């Protein structure tokens, strides 16, 4: 498992972006560091290597980068949860609230089969609204969520608690206190 202090040191914090009061945890610095990026993805691959699951659900947009590597390395189908209006075929949609604003998440209606076990991935859990919306879409289509995995958890924003209460186990590689 990647060392938490090492991982946190690879993530840039940008204060007051995109709005005053937000501490934005910028993972582009992690993506620019091949050694750190490899240890993040290796940690996730190791975690799910011996787990039986059917699909990886990746969240728009930084979750796509993680989902893509996992899907390739583990030979598992990749599902894209996209922001409204991007998917071309029949979709199901779920509105949700963000730390800063509101949004709608969509997924193709035929992408999850009844009983499919799904692992969700995103870069960061703040309020948990995005992953919860993805979880609701998985359930609406008859699938079940094995776990929601993120690089970063911000526990003080309550997202991991909200997800746990909704029956979605959470896994993260590091945590930042406060917001």
Near ligand AMP by CB under 6 A: residue from 2, 10, 25, 134: 25
Least separation, in Å, of the C-beta of 75 and ligand AMP?
25
Near ligand AMP by CB under 6 A: residue from 57, 67, 128, 135: 128
- Dihedral angle at the C-alpha atoms of 79, 82, 85, 91, nearest 10 degrees? 40
Q: Is 99 in the site for ligand AMP (CB under 6 A)?
A: yes
CA distances for 84 relative to 32, 60, 91, 113, angstroms = 29, 10, 10, 22
Helix, coil or strand: residue 92:
strand
Nearer to ligand AMP, 2 or 27 (CB): 27
Nearer to ligand AMP, 60 or 116 (CB): 60
Q: Is 16 in the site for ligand AMP (CB under 6 A)?
A: no
Residue 121 CA to residue 159 CA, distance in Å, equals: 14
Q: Which of the ranges 75-83, 84-92, 105-113, 128-136 carries the binding residues for ligand AMP, by CB under 6 A?
A: 128-136
Q: Is 22 in the site for ligand AMP (CB under 6 A)?
A: yes
Find the binding residues for ligand AMP in span 56-75 (CB under 6 A): 59, 62
CA distances for 76 relative to 6, 28, 72, 114, 115, angstroms = 29, 25, 7, 17, 16
Helix, coil or strand: residue 114:
coil
Near ligand AMP by CB under 6 A: residue from 125, 141, 149, 170: 125
Number of residues near ligand AMP (by CB under 6 A): 18
Residue 80 CA to residue 83 CA, distance in Å, equals: 10
Q: Which of the ranges 110-118, 120-128, 141-149, 164-172 carries the binding residues for ligand AMP, by CB under 6 A?
A: 120-128
Distance of CA 88 to the CA centre of its chain: 22
CB 157 within 8 A of CB 179: yes
Q: Is 106 in the site for ligand AMP (CB under 6 A)?
A: no
Q: Which residues bind ligand AMP (CB under 6 A)?
A: 22-25, 59, 62, 98-99, 122-130, 159
């Amino acid at each position: 498992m990647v060392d938490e202090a090492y991982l946190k040191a690879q993530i840039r914090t940008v204060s007051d972006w995109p709005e005053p009061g937000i501490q934005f945890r910028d993972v582009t610095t992690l993506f620019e560091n091949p050694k750190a990026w490899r240890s993040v993805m290796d940690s996730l691959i190791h975690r799910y290597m011996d787990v039986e699951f059917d699909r990886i659900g990746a969240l728009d947009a930084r979750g796509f980068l993680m989902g893509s590597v996992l899907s390739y390395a583990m030979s598992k189908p990749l599902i894209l949860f996209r922001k409204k209006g991007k998917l071309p075929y029949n979709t199901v949609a779920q509105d949700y609230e963000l730390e800063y604003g509101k949004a709608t998440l969509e997924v193709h209606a035929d992408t999850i089969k009844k009983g499919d076990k799904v692992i969700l991935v995103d870069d960061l859990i703040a309020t948990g609204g995005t992953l919860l919306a993805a979880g609701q879409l998985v359930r609406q289509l008859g699938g079940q969520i094995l776990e929601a995995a993120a690089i970063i958890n911000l526990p003080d924003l309550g997202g991991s608690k909200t997800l746990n209460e909704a029956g979605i186990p959470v896994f993260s590689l590091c945590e930042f206190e406060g917001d």
